[in-house]
Amino acid sequence: MGVKSNTTTPLRKETFESLQLNAGITLVNVDLADISNAGALKTEIATAKADGSKLLGATRGGGTFTITREIRQVEADGVRFRFKGSEIVDSADAYLSETLIEVTPEHLKKVIGNADVTTSGDKTTISLRTAIEDEDYLDNIVWIGDTSKGFVAIELYNALNTADFTMTFADKTEGTVNCEFHAHQGDVDDFDEVPCKIHFFDAAGELGSITVTSAAGTNVGETALTTTNTLESGEHYAYKVGTASTAPSAAYHDIPDYTWTEWNGSSAINVGASADGKKATIVVVNSSGLVTKKGVVTLAVKTA
């Protein structure tokens, strides 16, 4: 008897609903308090991109969010093991590291922090101060990334780039600026929380509909499906046959499993002569493998 190779894999259908995708976008001074869903966050991102003042800037190579902690084990005579509740967090640091490729006075001011920007005519000058003032701290810096079902946002409060300012330039490539923004507590009496938060926003959306018609195909067992829907980039169709009275169910952002069959949107499909008169569901699947639209049709199949 053969040995199954997938018995110990952690993969499950929900795994592909829990992925973080792409490099994301970093915004500054964004109030997340009133943003309660992915739709509102998407609007905030669009507004920030149109305005430009809340963008940290275009990046290269993604970025890294890090939380370091100094955890101390309480020492006492007679202790031989680690005991639950015996650790103390002496300090913690949260920071975001990225590499920017946009070089403007506005972007560099955010990165340098302790700097003043003055403009006279067509000339803009950045001057560095030795003192760090309260206004040099960004209210927050928020990295926002796509997930399979919505967004994840990492928020650092009172952010300041504490790394050395380095602008790297070379022939036949673009200049880059490295930054490392550290979160700071705003109140000296607040020792209960690290000044950062991680937010998850589930996608807010509704299942769209498509119109599908069916006609008997050329060969026995075939049906010819047609739809007025137009696929967007990265989308495809999938279908599943139900019974004469019930169509297979499909909800918004479902992930079609192996019981669904991909359809190219034009070719006749062989569903078997017994499928004549049964209901079928056709779904539109986006580039992330999630259902966004569906249509139900009663199949007309060539039976003889």
Q: What is the pLDDT of residues 259-270, one digit of tens each?
A: 999 999 999 999
Residue spans per domain, the chain: 13-202, 208-298
Contacts 24+ apart (CB under 8 A), 66-69: 66/93, 66/94, 66/95, 66/96, 66/97, 67/92, 67/93, 67/94, 67/194, 67/196, 68/92, 68/93, 69/93
Structure confidence at residue 3 (pLDDT): 58
**Mean pLDDT throughout 64-68?**
96
Q: Indicate the average pLDDT of the chain.
A: 91
Structure confidence at residue 4 (pLDDT): 61
Residue 2 has pLDDT above 70, yes or no: no
**Mean pLDDT throughout 113-125?**
95
Residue 125 has pLDDT above 80, yes or no: yes
Structure confidence at residue 205 (pLDDT): 65
**Mean pLDDT throughout 286-301?**
93
For domain 208-298, which architecture applies?
Sandwich (2.60)
Q: How far is CA 66 from each of CA 153, 154, 198, 238, rounded to the nearest angstrom?
A: 14, 11, 12, 40
**pTM listed for this prediction:** 0.66
Express as a percent the part of the chain with pLDDT over 70.
Answer: 97
Structure confidence at residue 235 (pLDDT): 94
**Mean pLDDT throughout 99-109?**
91
- Of residues 204 and 292, more confidence is placed in 292
Backbone dihedral region for residue 65 (phi beyond 0: left; psi -120 to 50: alpha; all else: beta): beta
Q: What is the pLDDT of residues 202-251, one digit of tens each?
A: 765 678 999 999 999 999 999 999 999 999 999 999 999 999 999 999 98
